Structure 1
């Protein structure tokens, strides 16, 4: 058991343990990249210097939509064990704020081990309620995502939907696989690889800090993805595949974000300062 005074950094595992039970093997290494190997770059429409106009414009499409409902899924596979964390909520793209309810997996005995965690996503900060591990039930925990070694791309159990879209700005390769039907809409399905450091340089200001932190904390910068963009230029679904090494084996993490119900009002109210926990956090 690790104890840490909130606000002092000693790696992602000591900062936040929403997924410490699930991702202990990942965060214990400080998100050191591993596995995955070199990515194939023989794609039809790779552009010198990287970048893809449709994927780069996906953020603009979300801003034009204003808001959307969101579902997230984060799956880890390590040592033959597969664990999935589900999230559901909404995101206001213009305010760059979202609210998710994250459901952690049951324990092996089948009993529910954790209460659902409420997460408020904001530029540079993640707020969590029902975080557990010594935090009073009526208090929130605030995490500065620019200090997380993965920029909160995986540590919180869900990738911020806007950050997931911004990461596509770093596409070094992208191939159009064709048109498909998804959730009642026609979408273009792209498959490629994104570079986190490149995305950090191209991202809008609100996302640069977290992506820059991830660029420093990951050893492997290349992230394979599948992205689905509708004819209005809105990102409908994106799946990123991260790989880490815990020193003895490779941990595969697949983060999926699905966006729908565009224009649905999303209300995000940040906690009052007195409702934010400042005591010791066990992880």
Structure 2
């Protein structure tokens, strides 16, 4: 069982009502709303990392692939997601695939996720939720601010975390999925990022700053020649059953400018009953 917290009169189960909880059971400066021109910073300038969220908003949208790797019960598990994200509307959709059970049977259907400002919607959640219903979680009430809860880090929130990047060094240039990128390494601070993030992300990141075992988060970021974030990997320290668990979250972005159509479910499709944990 993962620890529970109660906030704003609503019982919130941190990760137990989420993808991460399912896996654990089976394995035993303020943000700117405008875009930053790619020419504003030279290649290799560490400040480009802190500008990543603004540049993504300027890019409009992209396809995304995500992975969340964690060790639980002596077993390393990986949760993968794939979808699209609209950086201007701050909304996206992912299909999240859970790992096979230890016997090798693929017992979990992909979970459909809709990402919205301060909210996460999940379908095919299981745990007593009818197949035709969505679960809605308020990111600002989750102990991790939905950085790992849904089995994926919201792509734009992952970039917002980089606003507090420090000790940034340039590792070098390399090719990533056919694109030339600059590889940066450094650390960010969740609490500082919460204060500097765009308004939509502040409450969720502030919640994460209170809920994670460590505020300091090492990262690897890969930016292309236009300053667009192509890949980012964060190494979180997550609290689970009183123990600190290392969780590596990776987001890959490509095909910028693709159309993204996200429709949030109406109220009558939102599950309001009790979720089994």
TM-score between both structures, scaled by the size of structure 2 = 0.86
Q: Could you say if the C-alpha distance between residues 238 and 111 of structure 1 is closer, same or farther in structure 2, counting changes exceeding 3 Å?
A: same
Displacement of 1:65 after TM fit?
1.1
- The whole-number CA distance in structure 2 between the counterparts of 1:271 and 1:4 is 26
Q: Does 1:190 align with 2:192?
A: no
Q: Could you say if the C-alpha distance between residues 201 and 248 of structure 1 is closer, same or farther in structure 2, counting changes exceeding 3 Å?
A: closer
User: Is residue 191–residue 226 contact of structure 1 (8 Å, CA) maintained in 2?
Assistant: yes
TM-score between both structures, scaled by the size of structure 1 = 0.85
- The whole-number CA distance in structure 1 between the counterparts of 2:252 and 2:236 is 18
User: Is residue 4–residue 280 contact of structure 1 (8 Å, CA) maintained in 2?
Assistant: no
User: Is residue 20–residue 148 contact of structure 2 (8 Å, CA) maintained in 1?
Assistant: no
Match of 2:32 in 1: none
Match of 1:9 in 2: 11
Q: Does 1:153 align with 2:147?
A: yes
Displacement of 1:129 after TM fit?
0.4
- The whole-number CA distance in structure 2 between the counterparts of 1:80 and 1:278 is 35
User: Is residue 93–residue 115 contact of structure 2 (8 Å, CA) maintained in 1?
Assistant: yes
Over the aligned positions, Cα root-mean-square deviation in angstroms equals 2.4
Match of 2:21 in 1: 20
CA displacement, residues 57-94 of structure 1 (integer Å, 9 cap, x when unaligned): 11121111100000000011245311000000000000
User: Is residue 213–residue 237 contact of structure 2 (8 Å, CA) maintained in 1?
Assistant: no
Equivalent of 2:173, from 171, 176, 179?
179
Aligned length: 256
CA displacement, residues 99-128 of structure 1 (integer Å, 9 cap, x when unaligned): 000000111111112111000001100000
Higher RCO (CA 8 Å, separation ≥ 6 residues): 1
- Superposition pairs of residues 67-216 of structure 1, within 5 angstroms: 67-216=61-210
Displacement of 1:219 after TM fit?
3.2
3-state SS in 2 of match to 1:220: coil
Match of 2:41 in 1: none
Runs (4 or more) in structure 1 with deviation over 6 Å come to: 1-5
CA displacement, residues 186-238 of structure 1 (integer Å, 9 cap, x when unaligned): 11100011100010011000111110100111231001100001111100000
Displacement of 1:10 after TM fit?
4.0
User: Is residue 94–residue 113 contact of structure 2 (8 Å, CA) maintained in 1?
Assistant: yes
User: Is residue 46–residue 170 contact of structure 2 (8 Å, CA) maintained in 1?
Assistant: no
3-state SS in 2 of match to 1:278: coil
3-state SS in 2 of match to 1:224: strand
User: Is residue 12–residue 141 contact of structure 2 (8 Å, CA) maintained in 1?
Assistant: no
